[in-house]
Amino acid sequence: MTTLTRTPEKAVTIVAWTLQILCAAMFVFAGGSKLVGVPAMVQTFETIGVGQWFRYVTGGIEVISAALLLVPSLAFFGALALVATMVGAVITHLFIVGGSPAPAIVLLAATATIAWLRRPASLR
Protein backbone atom coordinates (compact mmCIF):
# COMPACT_ATOMS: atom_id res chain seq x y z
CA MET A 1 0.00 0.00 0.00
CA THR A 2 1.08 3.51 -0.63
CA THR A 3 1.09 6.22 1.98
CA LEU A 4 -1.98 7.81 0.41
CA THR A 5 -4.13 4.72 0.89
CA ARG A 6 -2.98 4.17 4.49
CA THR A 7 -3.57 7.76 5.60
CA PRO A 8 -7.40 7.59 5.57
CA GLU A 9 -7.29 4.26 7.46
CA LYS A 10 -4.98 5.78 10.05
CA ALA A 11 -7.22 8.84 10.41
CA VAL A 12 -10.28 6.63 10.92
CA THR A 13 -8.41 4.62 13.54
CA ILE A 14 -7.39 7.80 15.37
CA VAL A 15 -10.95 9.16 15.30
CA ALA A 16 -12.37 5.83 16.48
CA TRP A 17 -9.93 5.50 19.38
CA THR A 18 -10.43 9.13 20.40
CA LEU A 19 -14.21 8.67 20.49
CA GLN A 20 -13.88 5.35 22.30
CA ILE A 21 -11.65 6.76 25.03
CA LEU A 22 -13.75 9.90 25.52
CA CYS A 23 -17.01 7.96 25.59
CA ALA A 24 -15.58 5.34 27.92
CA ALA A 25 -14.57 8.09 30.36
CA MET A 26 -17.98 9.77 30.14
CA PHE A 27 -19.87 6.53 30.67
CA VAL A 28 -17.69 5.38 33.58
CA PHE A 29 -18.43 8.72 35.23
CA ALA A 30 -22.16 8.67 34.42
CA GLY A 31 -22.66 5.00 35.21
CA GLY A 32 -20.53 5.21 38.32
CA SER A 33 -22.60 8.11 39.64
CA LYS A 34 -25.72 5.98 39.19
CA LEU A 35 -24.16 2.97 40.91
CA VAL A 36 -22.88 4.88 43.95
CA GLY A 37 -26.19 6.67 44.40
CA VAL A 38 -25.36 10.30 43.73
CA PRO A 39 -28.46 12.16 45.01
CA ALA A 40 -29.19 13.77 41.62
CA MET A 41 -29.25 10.32 40.00
CA VAL A 42 -31.49 8.91 42.74
CA GLN A 43 -33.90 11.81 42.22
CA THR A 44 -33.84 11.44 38.43
CA PHE A 45 -34.76 7.77 38.62
CA GLU A 46 -37.41 8.56 41.24
CA THR A 47 -38.93 10.98 38.72
CA ILE A 48 -38.81 8.34 35.99
CA GLY A 49 -40.90 6.17 38.27
CA VAL A 50 -39.74 2.64 37.49
CA GLY A 51 -37.76 2.16 40.71
CA GLN A 52 -34.19 2.46 41.85
CA TRP A 53 -33.37 -1.01 40.50
CA PHE A 54 -33.44 0.59 37.03
CA ARG A 55 -30.73 3.06 38.13
CA TYR A 56 -28.48 0.12 38.99
CA VAL A 57 -29.23 -1.63 35.70
CA THR A 58 -28.57 1.52 33.70
CA GLY A 59 -25.38 2.30 35.61
CA GLY A 60 -24.17 -1.27 35.15
CA ILE A 61 -24.84 -1.18 31.42
CA GLU A 62 -22.95 2.11 31.13
CA VAL A 63 -19.89 0.98 33.10
CA ILE A 64 -19.65 -2.46 31.47
CA SER A 65 -20.17 -1.01 28.00
CA ALA A 66 -17.52 1.65 28.69
CA ALA A 67 -15.05 -1.14 29.42
CA LEU A 68 -16.08 -2.92 26.21
CA LEU A 69 -15.33 0.25 24.22
CA LEU A 70 -11.67 -0.15 25.17
CA VAL A 71 -11.37 -3.71 23.84
CA PRO A 72 -11.08 -3.58 20.03
CA SER A 73 -12.88 -6.87 19.38
CA LEU A 74 -15.76 -5.89 21.71
CA ALA A 75 -16.07 -2.14 21.02
CA PHE A 76 -18.87 -2.67 18.50
CA PHE A 77 -21.00 -4.50 21.08
CA GLY A 78 -20.33 -1.96 23.81
CA ALA A 79 -21.25 0.84 21.42
CA LEU A 80 -24.50 -0.90 20.42
CA ALA A 81 -25.53 -1.28 24.06
CA LEU A 82 -24.79 2.40 24.63
CA VAL A 83 -26.72 3.44 21.51
CA ALA A 84 -29.80 1.68 22.90
CA THR A 85 -29.22 3.24 26.32
CA MET A 86 -28.88 6.74 24.85
CA VAL A 87 -32.03 6.34 22.74
CA GLY A 88 -33.81 5.59 26.01
CA ALA A 89 -32.16 8.58 27.67
CA VAL A 90 -33.24 10.95 24.89
CA ILE A 91 -36.83 9.68 25.03
CA THR A 92 -36.82 9.94 28.83
CA HIS A 93 -35.59 13.55 28.71
CA LEU A 94 -38.13 14.51 26.08
CA PHE A 95 -41.21 12.92 27.64
CA ILE A 96 -40.62 12.31 31.36
CA VAL A 97 -37.76 14.12 33.07
CA GLY A 98 -37.55 17.30 31.05
CA GLY A 99 -34.38 19.30 30.69
CA SER A 100 -32.12 19.30 27.69
CA PRO A 101 -31.60 16.03 25.85
CA ALA A 102 -28.51 17.53 24.15
CA PRO A 103 -25.87 15.60 26.17
CA ALA A 104 -27.68 12.32 25.50
CA ILE A 105 -27.97 13.19 21.80
CA VAL A 106 -24.24 13.95 21.58
CA LEU A 107 -23.39 10.65 23.29
CA LEU A 108 -25.87 8.84 21.03
CA ALA A 109 -24.14 10.28 17.96
CA ALA A 110 -20.70 9.41 19.32
CA THR A 111 -21.60 5.82 20.21
CA ALA A 112 -23.41 5.31 16.90
CA THR A 113 -20.27 6.51 15.13
CA ILE A 114 -18.14 4.06 17.13
CA ALA A 115 -20.55 1.23 16.29
CA TRP A 116 -20.33 2.13 12.61
CA LEU A 117 -16.54 2.41 12.58
CA ARG A 118 -16.03 -0.78 14.61
CA ARG A 119 -18.69 -2.91 12.93
CA PRO A 120 -17.58 -6.45 12.10
CA ALA A 121 -16.38 -7.21 8.59
CA SER A 122 -19.46 -9.37 8.05
CA LEU A 123 -21.64 -6.22 8.33
CA ARG A 124 -19.60 -4.12 5.90
Domain that holds residue 46: 8-123
What digits encode the pLDDT tens for the residues 90-109? 999 999 999 899 999 999 99
* Residue 51 covered by a domain: yes
* Residue 48 covered by a domain: yes
DSSP states of 1-53 as a string?
Answer: --HHHHHHHHHHHHHHHHHHHHHHHHHHHHHHHHHTT-HHHHHHHHHHTS-TH
* Residue 2 covered by a domain: no
- Provide the pLDDT for residue 107: 97
* Residue 97 covered by a domain: yes
- Provide the pLDDT for residue 20: 98
* Residue 31 covered by a domain: yes
> Quick one: what percent of the chain has pLDDT higher than 90?
85
20 and 116 in contact (C-beta within 8 Å)?
no
What digits encode the pLDDT tens for the residues 5-30? 567 888 989 999 999 999 999 999 99
* Residue 93 covered by a domain: yes
Q: Please say if the pLDDT value at position 83 is more than 60.
A: yes
* Residue 40 covered by a domain: yes
CA distance 97 to 81: 22
Q: Band of the pLDDT at 121, cuts 50, 70, 90?
A: confident
* Residue 1 covered by a domain: no
More confident residue, 2 or 118: 118
Identity (one letter) of the amino acid at 116? Answer: W
- Provide the pLDDT for residue 39: 97
The domain tally of the chain equals: 1
